């Protein structure tokens, strides 16, 4: 008899986006004359930078010719891209990361979801609330949690992110082994200072723990005092893995390219305390289960690091940050408090009522779609996430409608 992994039965159906879609479609049916403005999703809306398109075209042409054709590439990614990343994203910022510590992949979603495979089932996992759901659900699938009760899985250490702690999780009181951090944060848009991040690194050292640091939104950091990488913190090489993506900086959500940094010293332990290097284990895992990102896509990602590419990406980010600034300005003028927006495409607004009530009010009265915070975890109740990923015209129009309503 073929039997299933019953851990999958513990998973809560992801009602959030299907529920939103259902309500939006019913509203549209009842009000076909209203032009709905979506500020709910985390997907980018602008086309790829021109340098990326040019690089894609050139690489596709290379694939047509026997002399320049490329078949299977290295599972870890081509050296040209790994070297560009190491230089620009790390060494130029004083972070000591080399090209061979970088693993190119087709998404930070897969990597943040897959990395937990390297660890024992009995480890204690600490996850922020509210959270990007992939960290939680993949640990549920792996059998590290108990059942879902009162809005939470048993055996997970939830790290509350609330107004009182600036939406930045505090060090857990109990010992934990695996810690997920995401800055700038999805969904709250909060950031972390160097000193705060250094405390996490010290905690991980002291407790022989590991930090999985998701920096998918790092390119939105405009405050120079904030760290973009955990590897800007001394000592992090031993205790942290970092995830990055080209999705949000260069608009690769549909093109797919990301990378994971696993420093050579980064370690975990076997049952009797023997030290093992995660670089070797992740390399083994990737070589077994992954066959690399397509050559044209890696060339397109490489183009991001040219002078022209950097200028075009800066322009793209500035476009979305201008949207975010407008949303912050208007919500503040209307008397709402919020987090994020300054170094993040997300604005986390205290709706002063239940998340879904605010969502319904906004949709029914203005035709604007946001994301109810309660969908990201228990601590998200009462908040809504507004995304800056849309055209400036649409954001302006949405904010005018909201101003009239509130």
Beta bridge partners of 159: 128
Could you say whether residue 345 binds ligand PLP (CB under 6 A)?
no
**DSSP readout, 141-199?**
HTT-S--EETTEETTEEEEE--GGGTT-PPPPSS--SEEEEESS-TTT-----HHHHHH
Could you say whether residue 81 binds ligand PLP (CB under 6 A)?
no
Q: How many residues bind ligand PLP (CB under 6 A)?
A: 14
- Binding segment for ligand PLP (CB under 6 A), chosen from 70-78, 104-112, 284-292, 354-362, is 104-112
Could you say whether residue 389 binds ligand PLP (CB under 6 A)?
no
CB of 74 to ligand PLP, least distance (A): 20
Which residue do the tokens 């549909």 mark? 254
Nearer to ligand PLP, 386 or 402 (CB): 386
Give the residue, chosen from 76, 114, 247, 286, that forms a contact with ligand PLP under the rule CB under 6 A. 247
Query: CB within 8 A of 35, min separation 6: which ones?
Result: 367
Could you say whether residue 108 binds ligand PLP (CB under 6 A)?
yes
CB of 322 to ligand PLP, least distance (A): 20
Nearer to ligand PLP, 135 or 366 (CB): 135
Could you say whether residue 132 binds ligand PLP (CB under 6 A)?
yes
- Binding segment for ligand PLP (CB under 6 A), chosen from 28-36, 108-116, 275-283, 367-375, is 108-116
Could you say whether residue 101 binds ligand PLP (CB under 6 A)?
no
Nearer to ligand PLP, 137 or 399 (CB): 137
CB of 1 to ligand PLP, least distance (A): 36
Distance CA 325, CA 113 (A): 32
**DSSP readout, 195-236?**
HHHHHHHHHHHHTT-EEEEE-TTGGG---TTS-SSGGGSTTG
Nearer to ligand PLP, 303 or 402 (CB): 303
Distance CA 201, CA 195 (A): 10
Nearer to ligand PLP, 245 or 294 (CB): 245
Could you say whether residue 45 binds ligand PLP (CB under 6 A)?
no
**Angle, nearest 10°, between helix axes 295-303 and 50-63?**
150
Angle of CA points 396, 402, 404, to nearest 5°: 105
Q: Where are the alpha helices (DSSP H) in 268-306?
A: 278-289, 295-303
Nearer to ligand PLP, 132 or 167 (CB): 132
Could you say whether residue 107 binds ligand PLP (CB under 6 A)?
yes
Q: Whose CA is closest to 191, among 159, 225, 157?
A: 225
User: Which residue is at the shortest CB distance from ligand PLP?
Assistant: 107
Distance CA 288, CA 94 (A): 33
Distance CA 145, CA 159 (A): 15
Could you say whether residue 294 binds ligand PLP (CB under 6 A)?
no
Q: Which of residues 199-228 bind ligand PLP (CB under 6 A)?
A: 214, 216
Could you say whether residue 245 binds ligand PLP (CB under 6 A)?
yes
Could you say whether residue 186 binds ligand PLP (CB under 6 A)?
yes
Give the residue, chosen from 156, 258, 297, 386, that forms a contact with ligand PLP under the rule CB under 6 A. 258
Q: Whose CA is closest to 386, among 363, 369, 404, 367?
A: 369
Distance CA 207, CA 52 (A): 43
Nearer to ligand PLP, 42 or 375 (CB): 42
Binding site for ligand PLP (CB under 6 A): 42, 107-109, 112, 132, 182, 186, 214, 216, 245, 247, 253, 258
């Amino acid at each position: 008899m073929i039997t299933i992994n019953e851990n999958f039965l513990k998973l809560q159906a992801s009602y959030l986006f299907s529920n939103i879609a259902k309500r939006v479609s019913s509203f549209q049916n009842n009000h076909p004359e209203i032009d709905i403005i979506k500020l709910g999703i985390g997907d980018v809306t602008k086309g790829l930078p021109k340098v990326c398109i040019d690089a894609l075209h050139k690489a596709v042409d290379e694939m047509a010719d026997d002399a320049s054709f490329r078949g299977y590439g290295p599972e870890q990614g081509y050296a040209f891209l790994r070297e560009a990343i190491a230089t620009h994203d790390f060494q130029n910022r004083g972070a000591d990361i080399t090209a061979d510590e970088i693993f190119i992949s087709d998404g930070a979603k897969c990597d943040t979801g897959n990395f937990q495979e390297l660890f024992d089932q009995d480890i204690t996992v600490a996850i922020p609330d509210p959270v990007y759901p992939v960290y939680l659900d993949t640990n549920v699938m792996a059998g590290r949690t108990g059942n879902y009760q009162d809005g939470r899985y048993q055996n997970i250490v939830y790290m509350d992110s609330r107004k009182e702690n600036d939406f930045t999780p505090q060090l857990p009181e109990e010992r934990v082994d695996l810690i997920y951090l995401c800055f700038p944060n999805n969904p709250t848009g909060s950031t972390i200072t160097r000193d705060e991040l250094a405390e996490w690194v010290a905690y991980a050292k002291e407790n022989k723990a590991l930090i999985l640091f998701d920096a998918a939104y790092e390119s939105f950091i405009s405050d120079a005092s904030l760290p973009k990488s955990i590897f800007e913190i001394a000592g992090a090489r031993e205790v942290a893995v970092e995830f990055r993506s080209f999705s949000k900086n260069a608009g690769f959500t549909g093109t797919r390219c990301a990378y994971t940094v696993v420093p050579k010293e980064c370690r975990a332990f076997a049952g009797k305390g023997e030290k093992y290097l995660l670089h070797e284990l992740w390399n083994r895992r990737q070589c077994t289960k992954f066959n690399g990102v397509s050559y044209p896509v890696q060339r397109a990602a490489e183009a991001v690091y040219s002078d022209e590419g950097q200028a075009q990406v800066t322009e793209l980010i500035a476009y979305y940050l201008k949207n975010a600034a407008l949303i912050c300005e208007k919500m503040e003028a209307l008397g709402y408090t919020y987090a994020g927006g300054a170094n993040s495409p997300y604005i986390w607004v205290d709706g002063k009522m239940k998340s879904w009530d605010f969502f319904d009010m906004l949709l029914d009265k203005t035709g604007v779609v946001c994301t109810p915070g309660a969908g990201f975890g228990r601590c998200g109740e009462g908040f809504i996430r507004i995304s800056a990923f849309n055209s400036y015209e649409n954001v302006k129009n949405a904010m005018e409608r909201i101003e009239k309503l509130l």
